[in-house]
């Protein structure tokens, strides 16, 4: 049977674009449909604008540091519209690059929403039908909000880059990557940030000691973090709420609430611990769901899991042999570089005749909280469940912070197998921890032992040298 294309990719995010380009490079006839903007979550409303906001937010602390280092600087104020304009210009530029790369690879672009009609046919929202030998679904995910009264008044990370004004106060709900990163970003930009997390400590699943230090650092920098607390109700604030709010002190003696734009423009919130407050904005960072609604998946025979994710095997193949799925829509590991790898492995398997399973083991990652976190492998808690381990850990004030009179500490931690001496986990809380873990991650992925780390000469004076100079375990378990 003759198909219009060898491959039809649905979704122009990092995973879909990479798969389309690499498949086209093998000589395959490839098309890609994207309903919104090329680049997907990472480029348009995720990693890239988030990281630029991390950079922007870091300057407030740098003004203080600069003074400590002898510079005569006067702290200016942050101009959100100016930054936002620059940010969106940059995103437009990056989107243009994505389009150019696809064009240059000979991939046909459909600026349309696509859904499956059957295992080899895609139907576009303008009614056109296109057939393909293989279909790759790479439609990503979207933020989800809890089902509470008034939730529609809140925003998500999708909205944060387009706000007309920076709020003066914000309540962030959640304790995951997005909630904790934006708490630091907005705090650095001068917003009064309150964060509610329903659990005992933010960043569930990561190393406990690292989580504790990050939470402590965030609080020291000014984030009003409430653990074991959730939102139960919210509504538009009334004049009475606003005047009540102005008189209620918060912990630490800071003003209770700040609401912008005069009476009635704030959001009144009731928390599970009984606290009632008014905030300028409420942001939900309560997880993400796969974009599988209205995609015709079940009708085409593709299995969709309990959380809406597409169920795939280790080759990213669905139950329908001609249909594959990669990236966040499969809810395996929701990280851009993982989606890209899944896309490359798909092309290797399907277009290069070299079946390649995706390796999801030992993935390094960074959480751009302030302080920053870099991590790979098992947390101390998880490792102890698996085998006897030695824990090497060092926590100290780095020289640049100490000189500037800052109290923040950094942490370097290695989780080492007693039996094999292999480093099972490496966890870093420090400035540039993301950069450090990329490099330490190579050693861990290679199976380096503690003694391999020790054989490596320290680079002095750096923070990272602690990774190779920790002599005695702080505990065994």
Of the candidates 31, 183, 285, 325, which one interacts with ligand NDP according to CB under 6 A?
A: 285
If binding is defined by CB under 6 A, does position 443 make contact with ligand NDP? Answer: no
If binding is defined by CB under 6 A, does position 206 make contact with ligand NDP? Answer: no
What's the token pair of residue 405?
Answer: 């009179």
Rounded to the nearest 5 degrees, what angle is found at the Cα of 463, between the Cα atoms of 462 and 469?
A: 90
Minimum gap (Å) between residue 42 Cβ and ligand NDP: 9
| Contact string 80-119 vs ligand NDP (x = CB under 6 A) | ----------------------------------------
If binding is defined by CB under 6 A, does position 288 make contact with ligand NDP? Answer: yes
| Contact string 230-269 vs ligand NDP (x = CB under 6 A) | x---------------------------------------
Nearest C-alpha neighbor of 140 from the set 234, 14, 312:
14
The residue whose Cβ lies closest to ligand NDP is 176
Nearest C-alpha neighbor of 15 from the set 342, 309, 360, 351:
342
If binding is defined by CB under 6 A, does position 433 make contact with ligand NDP? Answer: no
If binding is defined by CB under 6 A, does position 331 make contact with ligand NDP? Answer: no
Tally of CB atoms within 10 A around 36: 13
What's the token pair of residue 62?
Answer: 């740098």
If binding is defined by CB under 6 A, does position 368 make contact with ligand NDP? Answer: yes
Stretch that binds ligand NDP, among 192-200, 304-312, 422-430, 466-474 (CB under 6 A): 192-200
Of the candidates 58, 150, 176, 255, which one interacts with ligand NDP according to CB under 6 A?
A: 176
Minimum gap (Å) between residue 199 Cβ and ligand NDP: 4
If binding is defined by CB under 6 A, does position 438 make contact with ligand NDP? Answer: no
Minimum gap (Å) between residue 434 Cβ and ligand NDP: 8
Stretch that binds ligand NDP, among 84-92, 108-116, 365-373, 443-451 (CB under 6 A): 365-373
If binding is defined by CB under 6 A, does position 367 make contact with ligand NDP? Answer: yes
| Contact string 16-55 vs ligand NDP (x = CB under 6 A) | ----------------------------------------
Catalytic position from the list 120, 134, 226, 460: 460
Cβ distance to ligand NDP smaller for residue 221 or 288: 288
What's the token pair of residue 355?
Answer: 């079946």
What's the token pair of residue 318?
Answer: 């669905």
Minimum gap (Å) between residue 181 Cβ and ligand NDP: 6
Cβ distance to ligand NDP smaller for residue 242 or 371: 371
Phi, psi of 50 (to 5 degrees): -60, -50
If binding is defined by CB under 6 A, does position 335 make contact with ligand NDP? Answer: yes
If binding is defined by CB under 6 A, does position 199 make contact with ligand NDP? Answer: yes
Task: Respond yes or no: is residue 360 known to be catalytic.
Answer: no
Whole-angstrom distance between the N-terminal and C-terminal Cα of the chain? Answer: 61
Stretch that binds ligand NDP, among 119-127, 259-267, 361-369, 439-447 (CB under 6 A): 361-369
Tell which positions 212-231 bind ligand NDP, by CB under 6 A. Answer: 230
Beta bridge partners of 325: 137
Q: Which residues are catalytic?
A: 460
Positions in the binding site for ligand NDP (CB under 6 A): 146, 173-179, 181, 197-199, 204, 230, 285-288, 334-335, 365-368
């Amino acid at each position: 049977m003759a198909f219009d294309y060898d491959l039809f990719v649905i979704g122009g995010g990092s995973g879909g674009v990479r798969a389309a380009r690499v498949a086209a490079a093998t000589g395959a006839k490839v098309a890609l449909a994207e309903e919104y903007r090329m680049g997907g979550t990472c480029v348009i409303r995720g990693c890239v604008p988030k990281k630029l906001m991390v950079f922007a937010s870091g300057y407030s602390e740098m003004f203080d540091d600069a003074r400590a280092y002898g510079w005569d600087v006067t702290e200016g104020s942050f101009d959100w519209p100016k930054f936002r304009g620059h940010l969106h210009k940059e995103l437009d530029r990056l989107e243009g690059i994505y389009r150019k790369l696809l064009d240059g690879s000979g991939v046909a672009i459909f600026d349309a929403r696509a859904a499956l009609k059957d295992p080899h046919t895609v139907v576009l929202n303008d009614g056109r039908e296109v057939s393909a030998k293989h279909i790759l679904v790479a439609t990503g995910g979207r933020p989800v909000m809890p089902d509470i009264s008034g939730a529609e008044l809140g925003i998500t990370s999708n909205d944060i880059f387009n706000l007309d004004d920076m709020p003066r106060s914000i309540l962030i709900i959640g304790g995951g990557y997005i909630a904790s990163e934006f708490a630091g970003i907005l705090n650095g930009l001068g917003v009064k940030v309150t964060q509610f997390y329903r659990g005992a400590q933010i960043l569930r699943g990561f190393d406990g000691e690292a989580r504790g230090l990050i939470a402590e650092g965030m609080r020291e920098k000014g984030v009003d973090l409430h653990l074991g607390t959730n939102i139960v109700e919210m509504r538009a604030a009334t004049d009475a709420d606003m005047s009540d709010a102005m008189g209620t002190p918060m912990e630490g003696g800071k003003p209770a609430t700040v609401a912008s734009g005069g009476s009635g423009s704030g959001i009144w919130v009731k928390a599970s611990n009984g606290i009632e407050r008014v905030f300028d904005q409420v942001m939900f960072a309560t997880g993400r769901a796969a974009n599988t609604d209205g995609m015709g998946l079940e009708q085409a025979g593709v299995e969709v899991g309990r959380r809406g994710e597409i169920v795939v095997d280790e080759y990213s193949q669905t139950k329908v042999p001609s249909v594959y799925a990669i990236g966040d829509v499969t809810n395996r590991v929701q990280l851009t570089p993982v989606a890209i790898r899944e896309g490359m492995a798909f092309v290797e398997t399907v277009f290069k005749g070299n079946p390649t399973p995706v390796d999801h083991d030992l993935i390094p990652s960074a959480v751009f909280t302030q302080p920053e976190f870099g991590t790979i492998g098992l947390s101390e808690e998880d490792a102890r469940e698996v085998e006897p381990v030695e824990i090497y850990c060092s926590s100290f004030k780095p020289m640049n912070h100490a000189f500037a009179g800052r109290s923040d500490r950094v942490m370097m931690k290695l989780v080492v197998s007693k039996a094999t001496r292999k480093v099972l986990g490496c966890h870093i809380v420090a400035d540039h921890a993301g950069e450090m873990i990329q490099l330490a991650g190579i050693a861990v992925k290679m199976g380096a032992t503690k003694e391999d780390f020790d054989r490596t000469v320290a680079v002095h004076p750096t923070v990272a040298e602690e990774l190779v100079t920790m002599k005695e375990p702080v505990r065994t378990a």
